Amino acid sequence: MHCLDCRAEGTTSTAVGVCHDCGAAACHEHTLVANRVVRGGPLLGRPGEVTTRTVRCTTCAGAQAA
The model's pLDDT over 27-36, given as tens digits with 9 standing for 90+, comes to 999 999 999 8
The pLDDT value given to residue 18: 97
Least confident of 7-16, 20-29, 57-66: 57-66
SS3 of 11-49: CCCECCEECCCCCCEECCCCEEEEEEEEEECCCCCCCEE
Ranges of each domain in the chain = 4-65
Q: What pTM was estimated for this model as a whole?
A: 0.78
